[in-house]
C-alpha cells in the first residue's frame, strides 16, 4: 500500500495560525526525503505558505493540493493519496468528520488537535470499526490536549511496579493565552452541551470495557496540596478520559487503575474568577444570538505574538502510587497552546509516518498508538519528561 501513495504526509490547515506553525516545524524538522503536501481550499494562500517555508528552511518542499474539507469526494482523494493526514482545521465538530471518514475508509493514519469530547466520541461511534478493519490509526488530541497528560501518565506508570493496582494524579499549571481557533472551539462546545452528553452516552453503550481489569476516575474534590504548593481543582477537560482510555488499552497500567486530572492554583480566588468566566461563557453560548456575539470577539486565525509565546510555559506534575512505591514526575515545556502544540502535532505525524509502531488500529490515544517512539521524539524536541522523586510508600 505504501508504495502506491503519492505522499508520506499531508497537512490540512497550514493557512491558519497553529497550522502555519505546524508547517514551519515540519519544513524544518522532517526527513529530507519526506514527500508531503499542504492541503486547503485557497491555492494562493497555500502558495504563500509554501513560499515562506522555502525562504526559511532548506527542508523538503511541499506540494499544493486544493480541496475543501466539506467535499467528501475531495477528502477521499486526499486520504487515498497519503499515508498520514495531519489536520488543524476546527472546530472539528463542524468541519472534521468527512476527513476522518475518508481516512478510516482508506486505511490512512490521521492526527488532529481537537479537544472536543463530542467530536471524539462521535468519530469513535461512526468510524472506529471501519478504521480498525482497514488498519487506520485515528489519533485525536495530539496537542496540549492531550499529549502532556496522556504521555505524562504513561511515563509515570512506567516508573511504578507492574501487575499491581496503580493511582496517578495529574496537576496542571500554565501561564499561556489561547487563540481565536481555541476560543471558537470552546464556545461551540459550550453551545452543544446536550449533544456532547448524548455522544458520550452512545459511546459508553457501544464500547467494550477491558476484561478482568478496572479503570476509574479519581473522586472529584477541591483540596489543598501542600507538597505542590497550591489548590487542586478537578479539570473537566478531555484529558482525563484520554488517560483512562490509554489505561483501558494497555495492560501496563495494571489490573486496577485510577486517574485524577486537576488544575493546580496558588489561590482559591483565581479559581473562583476562572469559574465565573467559564460559567458566563457557558450561559451565553446556550442561545444563538449571544453565541454569535461571543464568536465575533476573536477571529479563528488570531493567536498570541511570538514574544508572548516565548514567555509562556506549562508544567504538569504527576504523583503515582502503587505496589509500595510512590513517584513524582513532571512534563514541562514552553508555550503550550501554539509553539509546543504545533511541535507535538508535527512529531505525531512524523511518528505515524516513519516510526516502528505497535500493531494497533482504530481510534487510538497517543499512548496506545505511538507510546515510546513518540515519547522519545518529544524528548528530543525539547519537551521534558523527568522523574523528580521516587520513594517507598506505606
> pLDDT per residue over 177-219, tens digit each?
555 555 655 666 667 888 889 999 999 999 988 889 999 999 9
Q: Is residue 116 part of a domain?
A: yes
Q: Is residue 260 part of a domain?
A: no
Q: How far, in Å, CA of 85 to CA of 94, rounded?
A: 18
pLDDT per residue as tens digits for the range 331-386: 999 988 788 999 999 999 999 999 999 999 999 999 999 999 999 999 999 999 99
Residue 141 · residue 241 · CB < 8 Å: no
Residue 92 · residue 114 · CB < 8 Å: yes
Q: Is the dihedral of CA 225, 227, 230, 232 positive or negative?
A: negative
The residue whose grid cell reads 477571529 is 299
Give the CATH number, domain containing residue 18.
3.40.50.720
Q: Is residue 104 part of a domain?
A: yes
Q: Is residue 364 part of a domain?
A: yes
Residue 287 · residue 122 · CB < 8 Å: no
- The three three-digit cell numbers of residue 307, written as one number: 514574544
Q: Is residue 70 part of a domain?
A: yes
Counting the structural domains of the chain, the total is: 1
- pLDDT of 273 higher than 50: yes
Contact residues for 268 (Cβ-Cβ < 8 A; gap 6+): 222, 231
Stated as kind and residue range, the H or E segment containing 306 is helix 306-311
Q: Is residue 90 part of a domain?
A: yes
3-state secondary structure at position 148? helix
Q: Is residue 51 part of a domain?
A: yes
Q: How far, in Å, CA of 240 to CA of 70, rounded?
A: 31
End-to-end CA distance of the chain: 53
- The three three-digit cell numbers of residue 230, written as one number: 497550591
Contact residues for 132 (Cβ-Cβ < 8 A; gap 6+): 361, 362
- The three three-digit cell numbers of residue 220, written as one number: 472529584
Phi/psi at 117 (nearest 5 deg)? -60, -40
Q: Is residue 80 part of a domain?
A: yes
pLDDT per residue as tens digits for the range 127-181: 999 999 999 999 999 999 899 999 999 999 999 999 999 999 999 988 855 555 5
Q: How far, in Å, CA of 387 to CA of 17, rounded?
A: 34
Give the total residue count for the chain.
394
Residue 142 · residue 87 · CB < 8 Å: no
∠ CA 177-154-388, rounded to 5°: 75
**Count of other CB atoms within 10 angstroms of residue 218:** 16
Q: How far, in Å, CA of 102 to CA of 108, rounded?
A: 8
pLDDT per residue as tens digits for the range 26-69: 999 999 999 999 999 999 999 999 999 999 988 899 999 999 99
> Containing domain of residue 105, as a range?
2-143+340-376
Amino acid at each position: 500500500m505504501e508504495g502506491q501513495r503519492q505522499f508520506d504526509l499531508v497537512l490540512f490547515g497550514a493557512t491558519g495560525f497553529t497550522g502555519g506553525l505546524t508547517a514551519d516545524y515540519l519544513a524544518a524538522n522532517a526527513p529530507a526525503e519526506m514527500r508531503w503536501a499542504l492541503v486547503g481550499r485557497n491555492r494562493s494562500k497555500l502558495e504563500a505558505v509554501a513560499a515562506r517555508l522555502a525562504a526559511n528552511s532548506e527542508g523538503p518542499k511541499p506540494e499544493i493540493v486544493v480541496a475543501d474539507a466539506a467535499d467528501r469526494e475531495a477528502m477521499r482523494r486526499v486520504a487515498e493519496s497519503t499515508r498520514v493526514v495531519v489536520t488543524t482545521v476546527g472546530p472539528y465538530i463542524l468541519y472534521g468528520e468527512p476527513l476522518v471518514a475518508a481516512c478510516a475508509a482508506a486505511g490512512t493514519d490521521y492526527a488532529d488537535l481537537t479537544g472536543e469530547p463530542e467530536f471524539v466520541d462521535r468519530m469513535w461511534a461512526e468510524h472506529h470499526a471501519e478504521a480498525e478493519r482497514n488498519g487506520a490509526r485515528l489519533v485525536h488530541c495530539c496537542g496540549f490536549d492531550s499529549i502532556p497528560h496522556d504521555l505524562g501518565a504513561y511515563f509515570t506508570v512506567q516508573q511504578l511496579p507492574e501487575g499491581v493496582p496503580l493511582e496517578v494524579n495529574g496537576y496542571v499549571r500554565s501561564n499561556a493565552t489561547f487563540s481565536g481557533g481555541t476560543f471558537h472551539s470552546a464556545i461551540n462546545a459550550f453551545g452543544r452541551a446536550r449533544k456532547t452528553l448524548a455522544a458520550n452516552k452512545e459511546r459508553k453503550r457501544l464500547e467494550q470495557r477491558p476484561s478482568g481489569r478496572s479503570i476509574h476516575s479519581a473522586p472529584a474534590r477541591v483540596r489543598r496540596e501542600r507538597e505542590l504548593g497550591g489548590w487542586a481543582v478537578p479539570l473537566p477537560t478531555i484529558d482525563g478520559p484520554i488517560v483512562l482510555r490509554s489505561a483501558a488499552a494497555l495492560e501496563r497500567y495494571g489490573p486496577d487503575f485510577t486517574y485524577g486530572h486537576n488544575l493546580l492554583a496558588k489561590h482559591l480566588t483565581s479559581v473562583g474568577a476562572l469559574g465565573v468566566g467559564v460559567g458566563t461563557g457557558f450561559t451565553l453560548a446556550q442561545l444563538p444570538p449571544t453565541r454569535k456575539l461571543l464568536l465575533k470577539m476573536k477571529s479563528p486565525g488570531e493567536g498570541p505574538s511570538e514574544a508572548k509565546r516565548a514567555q509562556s510555559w506549562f508544567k504538569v506534575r504527576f504523583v503515582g502510587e502503587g505496589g509500595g512505591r510512590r513517584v513524582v514526575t513532571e512534563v514541562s515545556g514552553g508555550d503550550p497552546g501554539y509553539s509546543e502544540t504545533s511541535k507535538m502535532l508535527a512529531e505525531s505525524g512524523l511518528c505515524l509516518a516513519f516510526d516502528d509502531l505497535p500493531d494497533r488500529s482504530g481510534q487510538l490515544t497517543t499512548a496506545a498508538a505511538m507510546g515510546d517512539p513518540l515519547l522519545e521524539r518529544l524528548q528530543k524536541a525539547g519537551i521534558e519528561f523527568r522523574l523528580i522523586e521516587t520513594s517507598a510508600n506505606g
